Each structure stands twice: as structure tokens, then as C-alpha cells.
Structure 1
Amino acid sequence: MSDSITQPAPTATLAPPAHNRVIELQRLPHAAYVPTWDYQEQLLAETVAVKTRNRQHEAAGTPLESTPNHLLLCEHPPVYTLGKSGKPEHLLLDENGLADHGATFHRINRGGDITFHGPGQLVGYPILDLENFKPDIHWYLRTLEEAVILTLAEYGIVSGRIAGLTGVWLDFEEGASNPRKICAMGVKCSRWVTMHGFALNVNTDLNYFGHIVPCGITDKAVTSLQQELGRAVPLREIEDRFVPHLAQLLDAQIVEKPYEARYTL
């Protein structure tokens, strides 16, 4: 009788969930800064919780879940925010000065230095799982910049990048006489899930920037689309031009949904 060898049954390997390239867009009404920040944190925590459960699913051999992606677009009342690497002395107002200008100040957990948000500025907060797209924070920042650059090009505005400085600039070429920032960026990333984002000056009152050292940069100016064009531009128009560019660059589908009032914004 010949010997026989029993082969072990093959171990089933769970396929990872398909990359979710759908981004849910919400336009936030009357978006006070702190509640909007809280809302971002909530959405980020929910996405990270899915990733944590997927570790448990892997261990148990149960199906994995897809992670969600969000894009919040809003306009804030006047507020200065200071990133983790920022210097407090770059805010040139004391508490009385802030009150006189109807502004507030907050230290926050994004990268970068100090910036201003206010009426007439389009602020975008993508809460994306970059593992659905490309887990590379530098690629992600360049993608946000490119979406803004393409949007500005629709208005005949030539913009670009300055080496070593995040954001979108006019007169960005080396040796240009008047480089000026039109869009600031600062993000946080936790387990490849992003929050915070970009602030594009559309019809922004640029006088507010005179009370800070914007992004810690002392030798360059700040501008807005209104200042460059000599006319105001509706924020909704900018949003509707920006969103398709971002969708194309991310190879994503952006689907608008009603704002979920988890916070009073």
C-alpha cells in the first residue's frame, strides 16, 4: 500500500474592499469655525473607525468595509487659525484688536502657520481616505493645488506653485516682481484620512491679512480673484467650477448630498 499525504485545505484570503472613489459633497450653511472643525473631526473619526473594524474583520475572516469620502465646502465668519508649527507672534492683534475687527482666533491641529478665513473666501475641507486614491500626502497637496490652478485658469488667471511653499500663487515664476498667494493650504492626515484643506480668496476683504504674517511669510503679498479681475465672483460659481476639476484629478465621482445637521454651524 502506498503512502498518502493529506494536503491542507487552502486558506481563504479576503479580498480588500474595492477602492471607494465616490466623494459626498456637502455645502455647509453659515459655517462657524469651531463647529465646522468638530464636524470634520467627527467624519474623520467615523472613517478611522471603519479602518479599525477592518483590522478585526481581517483577523476574523469576515468581509471588509469600504471607507467613505467627504468634501465640505463653506464660508466662515472672520477667524484666524494657527497651525501646529505656527508662531503665535504672527498674529498681530491682541484680544481687544480681534474684537474690534469682529474676528476670533484658534490654535488648530493642521500643519502650517497662521492664516485667515472670512466672508468671500471659498474654504474646502476634504475628508478623504487616501488609500482609496493614493496614499501620498505630497501628491494629495499637489492635487488640491492643481484643482485650484485649473479653476483660476477658467477666469484667465495664470497661477502656479513656488518651490517650498504650499498653496497657489500668482507671479509664481522665479524672479517675478510681485509673487502673491491666492490660495492657502494646510492639512492633517491620520491613518491616511485627511482633514482641513484649502482657502481660496475669491471676494475676501484682504485688509484682514494685514493683521497677521500670512503663513509666516514676510516677503510676499496676498491677493484675491476679485482684486485680480476687478469684479466680484459668486462663490457658488467658483464651487461649481472647482468640483469637476477635483473629481477629474482624483478619478472620483463627487455626489452632492444635503447637509447633515449634526452640529449647529
Structure 2
Amino acid sequence: MVPSAPQAGQNRQLRVEHLGLIDYEAAWAYQEQLLAATVARKTRNRFAAEAGSVAEPTANVLLLCQHPHVYTLGKSGKPEHLLLNAAQLLQHGATYHRINRGGDITYHGPGQLVGYPILDLDNFFTDIHRYLRVLEEAVIRTLAEYDLPAGRIAGLTGVWLGYEDGAANPRKICALGVKCSRWVTMHGFAFNINTDLSYFGHIVPCGIPDKAVTSLQQELGRVVPLPEVEEKLLRHLAILLDATLTS
């Protein structure tokens, strides 16, 4: 997967913000704020170009975080894929939100590396399917550094172990769900590192009833430091986007 060469006016800097453990709604609101600011700048730039003025570059931001236990349902998801009622959610210390990304239901929780890229794809390439493949590829290359062969399953987003045709135990290790507005992205990926996988037992993960979920900890048999995984993932993402990381 070869990145495109930068074109005139494209900003390939990617600012990385580490939010730590943050409530899902707070992270969602911050994403919306960043997206709105980028779309507003793009609108100003369009009028500036028409007036012969110099356009301001748009920003690209990657938010990295973890969430307290939460289930989120995308626009195309089915509410019945959540197998808990309100009282049971409270019992498990979890919350539930219907949100504006694509995809079905998923779980976020401590020990999971969640990434929300707020990118202006006009700075890179205007192809949402290619963008999803780039996110997947960064995770696939990260897992290869742990000697774990991972890949894609036709017709399904995300990254899988046991992905080969005829494999006995296909299991998802990273879920993806994004939204794009005027080529500005939000939402992103959830990469299971040291995740409590029992919480996936209360949903039909991503609306797929016949496949399992796994984590890096489960595959390796040990706890894996999240900063270690972040470093590898960021390196691969920067290469695939031909981006320069900043903080």
C-alpha cells in the first residue's frame, strides 16, 4: 500500500493527542468540535480561493484514548444486538449510546486502544474505502511485529486473526466504524489490547453472530503495555499516510 505524494496545499502533519481514560460522550463531543472547526476552515478556504486570497491549511488530529465500559450502536445497527436491559447495563457498570458512525454495535472499555482520526482527507486522498483499508493495514502491520498474522475477511471491516479461507476460528481483534463529512473523518478504530473480553458476551459484536473476538493479551498470553502498541501503530500509520507526527 503506497501512499500518495503530497500535492500543493496539502497538510500532511498529524497531531496526536493522548486523552487517557475519558468518558465516551466527552470524547464524542470533542471529535464533533474538531470536525466542525475543520469543516468551517474548509468553507472559509473555498471563499478565499474565489477571492484570490491565501487559504489556511486544515488540521489533522488523532485522538488516542480508553473509555469506561460502554456499548455504542452505529447508524446501520440493530438495537436487539445489545443483549442487556437498562438494569443489567447498570449492574455491569456500562453505558449505551446510539451514535452517527457506520457499523453495528461494539464495546469499548479499559485496556482497549481507541483511535479517533479527525483527518481532512483532502490532505491525503479522497477515498473513504481506501482510508478504511489504511487503518486496517496499520493494525495488521502492528500485529506482525508480535508475530501474529492478521488480515481482512471479505465483506467485513476490521482486522481478524484466523482470517484465511477455511480457518477454524476467525476472531476480530480490531473493529472500525467511521463517519465522513466534506471529506473530514471522525470515529475510528478500537484495538483490543488488554481488554476484558467478557463484555463482548453481552452483544452480538458488530452484528456478526458466528465469529469470535480476541485481544493481544489473549493471543500472546501476557499483558502488553499500551504505549508499546501505540508507538508501533503510530509509526505504521504515519508511513501509510505519508504523514509527519506532531504532539
Which bracket does the TM-score occupy, shorter chain normalised? Answer: over 0.9
Partner of 1:79: 70
Task: Specify the code of the residue in structure 1 equivalent to 2:83.
Answer: L
Task: Specify the code of the residue in structure 1 equivalent to 2:52.
Answer: G
Contact 1:17–1:66 at 8 Å: present in 2 too?
no
1:110-129 pair list within 5 angstroms: 110-129=101-120
What are the Cα deviations for residues 140-167 of structure 1, in whole angstroms up to 9, with x where unaligned? 0000000000001111111000000000
Structure 1 residue 30, shift from structure 2 partner: 2.4
Could you tell me which of 164, 169, 184 is aligned with 1:178?
A: 169
**1:214 and 2:205 correspond:** yes
Partner of 1:262: none
**1:28 and 2:19 correspond:** yes
Structure 1 runs of 4+ off > 2 angstroms? none
Could you tell me which of 205, 230, 238 is aligned with 2:196?
A: 205
Task: Specify the code of the residue in structure 2 equivalent to 1:54.
Answer: N
Structure 1 residue 228, shift from structure 2 partner: 0.4
Contact 1:19–1:133 at 8 Å: present in 2 too?
yes
Contact 1:183–1:201 at 8 Å: present in 2 too?
yes
Q: RMSD of aligned C-alpha atoms?
A: 0.9
Structure 1 residue 17, shift from structure 2 partner: 5.8
Partner of 2:135: 144
> Which consecutive unaligned segments of at least 5 residues does structure 1 have?
1-15, 257-265
Partner of 2:92: 101
Structure 1 residue 196, shift from structure 2 partner: 0.3
Q: Distance in 1 between matches of 2:198 and 2:178?
A: 25
Task: Specify the code of the residue in structure 2 equivalent to 1:62.
Answer: S
> Which protein has the larger Cα radius of gyration, Structure 1 or Structure 2?
1
Task: Specify the code of the residue in structure 2 equivalent to 1:232.
Answer: V
Structure 1 residue 60, shift from structure 2 partner: 1.6
Percent of residue pairs bearing the same amino acid type: 70
Partner of 2:53: 62
Q: Taking structure 2 as the reference length, what is the TM-score of the superposition?
A: 0.96
Q: Distance in 1 between matches of 2:227 and 2:68?
A: 17
Contact 1:17–1:64 at 8 Å: present in 2 too?
no
Residue 97 of structure 1 aligns to a residue whose secondary structure is helix
Q: How many residues are paired up?
A: 241
Contact 1:17–1:65 at 8 Å: present in 2 too?
no
Structure 1 residue 64, shift from structure 2 partner: 1.2
Structure 1 residue 59, shift from structure 2 partner: 2.4
Residue 112 of structure 1 aligns to a residue whose secondary structure is coil
Task: Specify the code of the residue in structure 2 equivalent to 1:219.
Answer: D
Residue 29 of structure 1 aligns to a residue whose secondary structure is strand
Contact 1:169–1:182 at 8 Å: present in 2 too?
yes
Partner of 1:43: 34
Q: Distance in 2 between matches of 1:151 and 1:255?
A: 20
Task: Specify the code of the residue in structure 1 equivalent to 2:162.
Answer: D
Contact 1:44–1:195 at 8 Å: present in 2 too?
yes
What are the Cα deviations for residues 218-240 of structure 1, in whole angstroms up to 9, with x where unaligned? 11000000000000101111111
> Which consecutive unaligned segments of at least 5 residues does structure 2 have?
1-6
Q: Distance in 1 between matches of 2:34 and 2:19?
A: 14
Residue 28 of structure 1 aligns to a residue whose secondary structure is strand
Q: Distance in 2 between matches of 1:203 and 1:108?
A: 25
Partner of 1:223: 214
Q: Distance in 2 between matches of 1:100 and 1:177?
A: 34
Residue 38 of structure 2 aligns to a residue whose secondary structure is helix
Residue 232 of structure 2 aligns to a residue whose secondary structure is helix
Contact 2:31–2:118 at 8 Å: present in 1 too?
yes
